């Protein structure tokens, strides 16, 4: 067996990238809006089935912003991006992107889903009328760790906005300061 050299590693990576660019991903032929809708529905179903208390939280929320498949990568500086939909009741009323930039000790890449539950009409209205909204100090953050019996407790839902992170994949070491911005997009 021959050892991997830098050249053979580059050839393998380029070949993999070429194959990825030439294959038809699932959802080929769908519009960007349809892909977001499909991913939001799947993420919401995953959230409700795997995070205890999430369905009850969703039932009492004024609106829910679901951003599936947020991808984060970093090597000292980090960035993340994802697109999702704001749901009021069963209807998807607007589409949003999430982008963040962080500076610090970040190494690796990950993918995760995020749901923001707007518990008061005022919180939902403030989000919808803002031009580029940032998650503020009046939000509670809940991180769902796979393998742990974590759920949503009533002490976590007494704020106007509750953020739930779930469905994490990948490996990332992160000790950075990051700012996230939500912006309305046309899809």
- Residue 104: which residues within 8 A CB-CB, separation 6 or more? 76, 78, 174, 175, 176, 177, 178
Q: What is the maximum alpha-carbon separation in the chain?
A: 65
Q: What gap in Å lies between CA 187 and CA 4, rounded to an integer?
A: 44
- Residue 11: which residues within 8 A CB-CB, separation 6 or more? none
55-67 average pLDDT score: 95
93-102 average pLDDT score: 92
pLDDT tens profile 129-169: 987 777 654 444 444 444 333 444 444 456 788 888 888 88
Q: What is the structure's pLDDT at 157?
A: 52
54-62 average pLDDT score: 94
Phi, psi of 60 (to 5 degrees): -95, -5
Q: What is the structure's pLDDT at 22?
A: 39
Q: What is the structure's pLDDT at 23?
A: 44
Q: Please give the residue that has the higher pLDDT: either 182 or 104.
A: 182
Which of 63-67, 142-146, 181-185 has the highest mean predicted lDDT (pLDDT)?
A: 63-67
pLDDT reading at 83 higher than 70: yes
Q: Which of 119, 100, 98 is nearest to 177 (CA)?
A: 100
pLDDT reading at 182 higher than 60: yes
pLDDT tens profile 28-51: 688 999 999 999 999 999 999 998
Phi, psi of 24 (to 5 degrees): -85, 115
- Residue 157: which residues within 8 A CB-CB, separation 6 or more? 53, 57, 60, 117, 119, 140
Total-model pTM: 0.74
pLDDT reading at 70 higher than 70: yes
Contact 73, 48 (CB under 8 A): no
Q: What gap in Å lies between CA 9 and CA 27, rounded to an integer?
A: 30
């Amino acid at each position: 067996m021959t050892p991997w050299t830098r050249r053979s590693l580059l050839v393998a990576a380029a070949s993999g990238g070429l194959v990825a660019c030439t294959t038809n991903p699932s959802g080929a032929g769908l519009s960007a809006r349809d892909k977001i809708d499909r991913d939001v529905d799947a993420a919401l179903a995953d959230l409700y089935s795997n995070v205890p208390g999430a369905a009850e939280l969703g039932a009492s929320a004024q609106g829910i912003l679901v951003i599936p498949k947020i991808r984060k990568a970093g090597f000292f500086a980090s960035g993340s991006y994802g697109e999702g939909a704001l749901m009021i009741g069963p209807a998807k009323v607007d589409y949003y992107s999430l982008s963040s930039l962080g500076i610090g000790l970040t190494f690796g890449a990950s993918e995760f889903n995020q749901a923001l539950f707007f518990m008061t009409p005022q919180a939902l209205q403030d989000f919808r009328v803002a031009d580029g909204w940032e998650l503020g100090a009046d939000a509670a953050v809940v991180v769902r760790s796979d393998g742990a019996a974590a759920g949503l407790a009533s002490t976590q839902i007494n704020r106007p906005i509750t953020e739930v992170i779930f469905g994490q994949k990948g490996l990332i070491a992160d000790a950075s300061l990051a700012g996230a911005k939500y912006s309305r997009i046309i899809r």
